[in-house]
Amino acid sequence: MKLRRPSPALVVAVVALFLSVSGTAYAAGVVPMAKRALFANNAGKLQGKTVRQIADIPGSATDLNGLVEEDIAAMPGPASTASALVTVATAPFALAPGEQRDFSAQCPGNAKAISGGFTSVDNVLAADTRPTAAGGGWTLYLINVSGSFSATGNVHAVCLF
């Protein structure tokens, strides 16, 4: 029985297999070292102080916009669900036959608009949709396609608190 020399394709495949297997082992050794280096870097920034020692440093650590402890304690905590952060604002619109123009829905309070749209049973097209200049509402440029019938509906803004 005579053995043949391995083909170049087999040699390349074996080398690729070896590199792929050893590459994951190398990465497994590098990642823990990177985490240790990051921890050491952060510890150096704290100059060996504990959390309690940093908290006891007199003076303002950040700008709290004039709030005191009682104001901060009275603030509501984070929402328990994402749905508590989102609301939909609605405003009616009316277009004469063939009319086209901008309509806006404004978000309540200091909420920011993240999306918008409209509903209508009439032949209306939205040619443009965008947040308002300050970001507190949503504007749509609507076109009444009908030349003989008026169109009505509602403009909506999806708002995030």
How far is Cα 99 from Cα 79, in angstroms, rounded to an integer?
42
Domain housing 12: 8-55
User: pLDDT exceeding 90 applies to what percent of the chain?
Assistant: 43
Residue 84 host element (H or E): none
Residue 135 CB neighbour total at 10 angstroms: 12
Residue 150 host element (H or E): none
Same domain, 150 and 91: yes
Residue 35, in any domain of the structure: yes
Same domain, 91 and 154: yes
Supply 26's token pair: 């190398």
Same domain, 90 and 156: yes
Same domain, 103 and 151: yes
Same domain, 96 and 138: yes
What local confidence, expressed as pLDDT, does residue 146 receive? 93
Residue 142, in any domain of the structure: yes
Cβ within 8 Å of residue 26, ≥6 positions away? none
Same domain, 88 and 29: no
pTM of the model: 0.51
What local confidence, expressed as pLDDT, does residue 150 receive? 96
Same domain, 150 and 113: yes
Same domain, 40 and 96: no
Q: How many domains does the chain have?
A: 2
What local confidence, expressed as pLDDT, does residue 65 receive? 64
Residue 72, in any domain of the structure: no
The per-residue pLDDT for range 2-36, each reduced to its tens digit, is: 778 888 888 888 877 776 666 555 555 545 555 55
Residue 138 CB neighbour total at 10 angstroms: 27
Same domain, 50 and 88: no
pLDDT of 156 > 70? The answer is: yes
Same domain, 142 and 96: yes
Residue 76, in any domain of the structure: no
How far is Cα 88 from Cα 102, in angstroms, rounded to an integer?
19
Query: CA separation (Å) from 55 to 44, 51, 59, 60?
Result: 17, 6, 10, 10
Supply 149's token pair: 């019938």
| Residue pair 131/137 in contact by the 8 Å Cβ criterion | yes
The per-residue pLDDT for range 109-147, each reduced to its tens digit, is: 889 999 999 999 999 999 999 999 999 999 999 999 999
Same domain, 88 and 153: yes
Residue 89, in any domain of the structure: yes
